[in-house]
Chain A
């Protein structure tokens, strides 16, 4: 019905490179308008607020470092979600997997003796984080592969189960009195970027960002240059056809889920090894759910994920910068608007593009 509708606008010949960028750009435009309205309800000038937002993020060393720090976690969770979607699965469990990864890194870091050289300790702790994330994703992965259980439902439920489990572990097993965090690790700390360059002084940005970028490169290579990646994408596009073509879709799903969990778990390294040196309850703070937005705006492509992680990190850090003028929660509203706008704009804009192509062809 609606697909036959004549397009409201018929731009003649949109450049090919621009077409995949149109939906996210449309969405950002909508979000900017909503943002203006919210700022106006608070009686502030949108221009002033946006100026402060940019100044407080990319305009100074601390702000820039904080953006990079926040982007690091988001790259990891964004990649985790994107990889799942490429295989036709919705990993909503990145939030729990991230927390579990961070906890695993902190727990292993505590087990290592104090003098362990960084070259040994860091890889061990990073591996622990990935394994922790994978463990959290294994439950939905196995249940999906074996019983066809909806990964959406299972990952949501797992988020709550993991939260309760970690709450119990930190409250009764591994806590520092009067706090919600584990003791500091003895070895495995990842150095801060500020240690090598004054450009980031004072910020939490650390070398985990290199792991995150490495993970993005790895994900791109895995997805588009390996046989496993081909099978993954085939299973995502058309599982029945993939199965008919000799791909064991169930095991592709399980493998993807484990890898996705490992990527989300890697994000835990950023906070635990790179920033605080301990696991603290609630450190994930929605970064797992935000990964969905990151993946969506990044069109599930590793390069897109990195860019959109920077965008959302800027918004999140910028929120603190403008808090004096408008409540920082405005950014949560804007993030949600971006997600809804992308989710609606993608099918809508693609339909319009198809209609345009149909006319010119």
Chain B
């Protein structure tokens, strides 16, 4: 029983990672550095809370969350594709913008500096009732459409990348943009589409957080976008391996939460695991990773 509980908790923790990492893979494979995942998620979370609050429907929240992700993704694309700004600089700035803007509009919309009021989420089954608690939590988790979409998001990205003409162009734009341009396809257009789609995924990751907690809280993504980025890099930009990395990082976190009472390892050291593994991976100490060769490069 506790194995199932462990798996479910892992899945719940992994869902935002799976979403954001899907966006990360799409964006980075097209050649646009995805330092902004954190900012896209945070904006998505805020817009989802806003939409869900004013409409009373989590589905509207979901659409707004995806839309919020797309909005900041468009800003990122405009600066780094249209105006060829340095992608790292713009990425850092957009993360800053997301934190500042969500706080600003939190004050404007809800007159609060810390959190939104309670918003409707996807809880179709209530988790009350003592004996059926365990089985109820299974239903509660799996009945959330976002968990289901999150689970299929990386397989979907794999399919787009490897089985569609758009995916072929996307990968080529990230590896050899000149080749894409030489056959008359606009690199900028492919990258724009990839980044906007990435914004949808990352925005949904934020949406999951806001709707699951039934509110938006200040800086609620708490570095999850960077863990997702770590998973993208550790997974060598391959959707299947990235999915494994997301689940692995989430499992480590679950493990730490469950063992908190035992004090075996300080929790801070468990927190470091994704980052340490990523550094080891980029340094090529064991099994070198290889990033898309035109990542971060301007293409005309």
Please report A residues at the B interface, Cβ cutoff 8 Å: 1-3, 38, 41-42, 90, 92, 139, 143, 146-147, 149-150, 152-154, 156-158, 160-161, 164-165, 167-168, 171-172, 286, 289, 292-293, 296, 327, 329-333, 335-337, 339-340, 343-344, 346-348
If A42-B108, A164-B268, A327-B103 touch, whether A92 touches B283 (CB-CB below 8 Å) is no
Q: Is the CB of A289 within 8 A of B84?
A: no
Q: Is the interface of A mostly helix, strand, loop or mixed?
A: helix
**Contact mask for chain B residues 78-101; partner A; CB cutoff 8 A; 1 contact, 0 none:** 010001111011101110110111
Please report B residues at the A interface, Cβ cutoff 8 Å: 33, 35, 75, 79, 83-86, 88-90, 92-94, 96-97, 99-101, 103-104, 107-108, 113, 223, 226, 229-230, 233, 266, 268-269, 271-272, 275-276, 278-279, 282-285, 291, 300
Q: How far is the CA of A154 from the CA of B268 in the complex (A)?
A: 18
If A147-B284, A329-B103, A347-B84 touch, whether A165 touches B300 (CB-CB below 8 Å) is no
Q: How far is the CA of A293 from the CA of B94 in the complex (A)?
A: 12
If A41-B108, A147-B284, A153-B278 touch, whether A343 touches B268 (CB-CB below 8 Å) is no
Q: How far is the CA of A293 from the CA of B104 in the complex (A)?
A: 20
Q: Is the CB of B100 within 8 A of A330?
A: yes
B85 neighbours in A (Cβ, 8 Å): 340, 343-344, 346-347
| Minimum CB distance partner of A171 in chain B | B268
If A149-B284, A156-B226, A347-B83 touch, whether A161 touches B275 (CB-CB below 8 Å) is yes
Q: Is the CB of A343 within 8 A of B90?
A: yes
B96 neighbours in A (Cβ, 8 Å): 286, 289, 332, 335-336, 339
Q: Is the CB of A332 within 8 A of B93?
A: no
If A38-B104, A343-B85 touch, whether A336 touches B93 (CB-CB below 8 Å) is yes
16 A-B pairs besides A152-B88, A343-B86 with CB distance below 8 A are A2-B300, A3-B300, A92-B92, A149-B284, A154-B282, A157-B230, A164-B269, A164-B271, A168-B268, A293-B93, A327-B103, A332-B103, A335-B96, A335-B100, A343-B79, A344-B83
Q: How far is the CA of A348 from the CA of B298 in the complex (A)?
A: 13
* Chain A-chain B contacts (Cβ-Cβ < 8 Å), number: 135
Q: Is the CB of B272 within 8 A of A139?
A: no
Task: From A327, A332, A340, give the contact of B99 (CB < 8 A).
Answer: A332
Most B C-beta atoms less than 10 A away, residue of A92, A146, A157, A158 = A157
Q: Is the CB of A161 within 8 A of B276?
A: yes
A42 neighbours in B (Cβ, 8 Å): 108
8 sampled A-B residue pairs with Cβ under 8 A: A152-B88, A153-B282, A160-B271, A168-B269, A339-B90, A340-B79, A340-B93, A344-B83
If A161-B272, A339-B92, A343-B86 touch, whether A154 touches B279 (CB-CB below 8 Å) is yes
A154 neighbours in B (Cβ, 8 Å): 279, 282-283
Most B C-beta atoms less than 10 A away, residue of A42, A146, A343 = A343
Q: Is the CB of B272 within 8 A of A149?
A: no
Task: From A3, A333, A339, give the contact of B89 (CB < 8 A).
Answer: A339
Q: Is the CB of A336 within 8 A of B100?
A: yes
Q: How far is the CA of A293 from the CA of B283 in the complex (A)?
A: 28
Most A C-beta atoms less than 10 A away, residue of B84, B89, B226, B300 = B89
| Minimum CB distance partner of A332 in chain B | B100
Q: How far is the CA of A92 from the CA of B90 in the complex (A)?
A: 13
Q: Is the CB of A337 within 8 A of B284?
A: no
Q: Is the CB of B279 within 8 A of A139?
A: yes
Q: Is the CB of A172 within 8 A of B266?
A: yes
Task: From B83, B92, B272, B283, give the contact of A147 (CB < 8 A).
Answer: B283
Q: Is the CB of A292 within 8 A of B89?
A: yes
B157 to A: closest C-beta gap in Å: 21
B269 neighbours in A (Cβ, 8 Å): 164, 168
B278 neighbours in A (Cβ, 8 Å): 153, 157
| Minimum CB distance partner of A336 in chain B | B97
Q: How far is the CA of A94 from the CA of B96 in the complex (A)?
A: 15
B76 to A: closest C-beta gap in Å: 9
Q: How far is the CA of A327 from the CA of B108 in the complex (A)?
A: 9
Q: How far is the CA of A220 from the CA of B262 in the complex (A)?
A: 53
B271 neighbours in A (Cβ, 8 Å): 160, 164
Q: How far is the CA of A175 from the CA of B127 in the complex (A)?
A: 40
If A289-B96, A292-B92 touch, whether A153 touches B104 (CB-CB below 8 Å) is no
